[in-house]
Structure 1
């Protein structure tokens, strides 16, 4: 019943020109089915930032960041996701967000991910940050920097490094011919699970050669 209502409301939102994917109703914290663990290839982002004349700390050579935690996103099995939920939980302190810098690149990103996604998890800020860290640390990152690879080869590298994952549990996204992210689908208790169709729809075109910029 609830999932059917979600689909009807999502269709109505699209008909009205609303942003696709996100829930069209005021979402309730904790009302979701699974998580997407989004892992950004930091060198791709840094190339764009440096080209634009910026030099964020995340991109400094001493940081040595490859895959960084973009976020842990609640998702619906039938498509879409909740975001910007109203929650009675307190927002994280500056210190709590700053403590996520080692895996997320910046405290600002940690705060934004809490605001957009964490408030929908049904968790408090500290447990959500802890769950995000545990999800990130559960994944062994393959060594792929400084190569040209297909999306399938990148996915295979993840599967080789993480035999607990199945092919349907992850996708690779790209932009401008470069690796952008790896996204891994996890249950609410962080067990692997197959990604829903809307997540798979964001995958790179099969066979496309992707530039994987090296870690600075």
Structure 2
């Protein structure tokens, strides 16, 4: 098909409009990324303490994680992370004067509750950097938050597999922790297994409600907690 000079000019103008629009979209996306990465450390509303059920994590590890999932390990609930949150959304990967890598002498004393230096380092870079704390302060705050929680005895044992509703899991945590509300806790699942229990805390680690976190919980009726090894 032959194009007239006018038609050719129209096609070129349309193509140029599309290219400009695509360029603007890319620039806007890059700007939004820069804005997220530029979030200011220490400016957030509350914390989420995420407790991972280690047997679920280890069941999905094909190559194994020896620190957490070795045959001589039998972790139950461990800390996935202590996450600064906004009422909607959360900051991540904030600028910090601390190094990106967490030194062994700083991280290893916390491996009883966060059993991997890889996990500790990642949590520092993504979440801890946004708290306004140093690495040592962030890890100490994480332990303080973990110690704040009483894990229900029947959930903590890990002696045998348990299958129960997510409501029952949350109710057990609420019953074991005075001041905790069902509106301040959420479970997450991996398939039909319990993955994590997420608990909302104020900056001084008191229990608080958190609507967005609560809404994001697992929606299936029952989950299984695999036994510890």
Aligned to 1:117: 127
Residue pair 2:37, 2:93 contacting (<8 A) in 1 also: no
Which protein has the bigger helix share? Answer: 2
Q: TM-score, normalised by structure 2?
A: 0.79
Distance in 2 separating the partners of 1:32 and 1:46: 32
Gaps of 5+ in 1: 1-11
Aligned residue pairs, count: 197
Aligned to 1:29: 41
| Structure-to-structure mapping, 1:108-187, within 5 angstroms | 108-142=118-152, 143-144=154-155, 145=158, 146-187=161-202
| Structure-to-structure mapping, 1:186-201, within 5 angstroms | 186-197=201-212, 199-201=213-215
Q: TM-score, normalised by structure 1?
A: 0.83
Residue pair 2:51, 2:78 contacting (<8 A) in 1 also: yes
Distance change (3 Å), C-alpha of 1:25 and 1:53: closer
Gaps of 5+ in 2: 1-24
Residue pair 1:27, 1:85 contacting (<8 A) in 2 also: yes
Residue pair 2:49, 2:145 contacting (<8 A) in 1 also: yes
Distance in 1 separating the partners of 2:71 and 2:166: 26
Q: Larger C-alpha radius of gyration, 1 or 2?
A: 2
User: C-alpha root-mean-square deviation of aligned residues, in Å?
Assistant: 2.5
Runs of 4+ in 1 over 6 A off after TM superposition: none
Distance change (3 Å), C-alpha of 1:169 and 1:90: same
* Superposition deviation, residue 96 in structure 1: 0.9
